[in-house]
Amino acid sequence: MKIIGLLDCDSFFASCEKVFRPDWANRPVVVLSNNDGCVVARSPEAKALGIAMGAPFFQIRELARRAGVVVRSGNFALYGDLSRRVVETLGRWTPSVDVYSIDEAFLDLTGRFCDSNGRLRGSEEAAENGGGLGGWRGLGDVSGGDVGDLGRIGKNGGLNWREFCASDERLSAETRREIERTAEEIVETVRRWTGIPVSLGLGPTRTLAKAASRIAKRDGAATGRKFALLFNPEERERELKRLPVGDVWGVGRRLLPAFWRLGLRTAFDLARVDPIYMRKNFSIVQEKTVRELRGERTFDSKTRPEAQKSLQISRSFGTTVETLAEMEEAVSSFASTAAAKMRARKIVASGVYVYMSTSGRDQNAPRRNVGLAVNFARPTNSTPEFLSAALRLTRILFDPNLAWRKAGVVALETLDESVASSRRFLFEPDPERPAERRERDRRLCETLDKANVAFGKNAVFFASDGIKPRWTPNARFVSPSYTTDWNALPVVRAN
DNA sequence: TCTGGGGTCCTAGGACCC
DNA sequence: TCTGGGGTCCTAGGACCC
């Protein structure tokens, strides 16, 4: 059995905003998406006011004002840096940290609890302790009674406990206590070192670790215990019965109604469904979810992370864009950003896709959503080449009779620079970009990147990006970039 | 006139995640 | 007046091949 942890930062963006403002410690704080559009993070105090995730800002503005809510525009440079600090801290407990998103990471802690043979210390096989059914007495209910005939979904009919519980292995009481001590230490250390409050869920699979972290968040506020374990069968049954099926990782808003129609209300109900039935009636993804809930690992950490396949930069405009010149500036700056990001990640793109759209919510104005792609003669991450292709597409797509609200640039079929250069011979020579021109472009980009590191973001840029664009997204409540901008360093004054 | 079985590749659309 | 942005994976169906 593996010991998998999922560490999840509490109300991450809102917590980041509080780190450098201790005076906001107990105040409601919300963070807005780009363009100050809607709420993407809420501190616990803001949640208590009933402010919903994703709520449009203009709808809650009045409530926020009355209740004294601190409103912030998204400051993603700050959040990215604090996220990095959290992940770095986690390295103290295991080298196996798999960053899942800006505010979540999976940890494989198995090694800390193994003996020299690589087996969990003090673990017991159920078969060796008298059948091991003692802790699983509740299973008498499974094939009927309180949960109806769920166990018969799928041709295999009712489940026996062995099928439900993929592993007979149990943690010894001693190992369990050790895991709890470690969990507490991780949560406490991350909070002290980074200022970010976190919750930690632990279980034998990623899906169970995720479920455990939901439970830790749900109960943490009341109990003060910021971690939860889902290992032994009896605690899995008890806790999964208390977890709504919609809270399971992989069950979204479209799947939920279908699951309800099947009578699946809780994570426990889902765990009891025949996996083959799930594959036939849904897909392999849902089959895996069921297996994971049973303790069988199907979502594995990748030893070598897959290469990223695409990269996109898009923004909603702070105002409508109605002239080609402005649209060119917007697309140009997105393309510049995308190319610079690719260079930073050492990837190249095989093509570029440009799209633009109107509001889509205005009943009276025409709705339009257009996009177009083009392939490069050979994969590239050079800004001049990216720019000229993106601008060509923009001129084809743009319609001056519409009020555009959003645009984006996507780098298509990205691959590692090293992979691309090893496949060089596969590509035709590009008559428009002979070798000497490509070399000149490469040196230009290198210089550009160096200057922008040394003198700050956008210290040097292409004129086509525009100098003072009208369309820049709204960001009216932005906090200082305390940790990524020398000019924004917090100052401590002694009296 | 009859019309199998197996495979690949591509795309659009749908679902999920945070 | 005002409603993010950035990703991944899977499936079905069509075109095409032998």
Give CA–CA dist A111/A265, Å, rounded: 36
What is the CA angle A277-A280-A286, rounded to 5?
A: 75
Q: What percent of chain A has pLDDT over 70?
A: 89
pLDDT-derived band at A221, boundaries 50, 70, 90: confident
A318 touches strand C (CB under 7 A): no
**Lowest-confidence region among A166-175, A189-198, A283-292, A332-341:** A166-175
Is the CA virtual torsion A53, A54, A57, A58 positive or negative?
negative
pLDDT tens digits along A136-174: 333 333 333 333 345 455 544 444 545 566 555 788 899
Mean pLDDT for the stretch of residues A465-484: 91
pLDDT of residue A468: 84
Per-residue pLDDT at A46 exceeds 70: yes
- Cβ atoms of A352 and A386 within 8 Å: the answer is yes
pLDDT 10s digits, A384-399: 999 999 999 999 999 9
Q: Which nucleotide is nearest to A285 (CA to C1')?
A: C10
Instruction: Show which positions of strand C are touched by protein (CB under 7 A).
Output: 1-11
Mean pLDDT of A302-319: 84
Rounded to whole angstroms, the Cα distance separating A42 from A218 reads 15
pLDDT at position A305 is 67
Residues 356-395 of chain A in contact with strand C via CB under 7 angstroms? 359, 361-362
Domains in chain A: ranges and CATH? 1-120+171-201 (3.30.70.270), 124-170+232-305 (1.10.150.20), 311-465 (3.30.1490.100)
Angle at Cα A381 formed by Cα A379 and Cα A384, nearest 5°?
A: 110
- Please report which residue ranges of A91-160 form alpha helices under DSSP H: none
Q: Any atom of strand B under 7 A from CB of A462?
A: no
Residue A441 pairs in a beta bridge with none
- pLDDT averaged over chain A? 87
**How far in angstroms lies nucleotide C6's C1' from the CA of residue A377?**
26
Residue A104 CB closer than 7 angstroms to strand B? yes
Could you report the per-residue pLDDT of A251-293, keeping only the tens digit for each?
A: 999 999 999 999 999 999 999 999 999 998 999 999 999 999 9
Give the pLDDT score at A137: 33
Strands (E), A417-471: none
Protein residue at shortest CA distance from C1' of C6:
A312
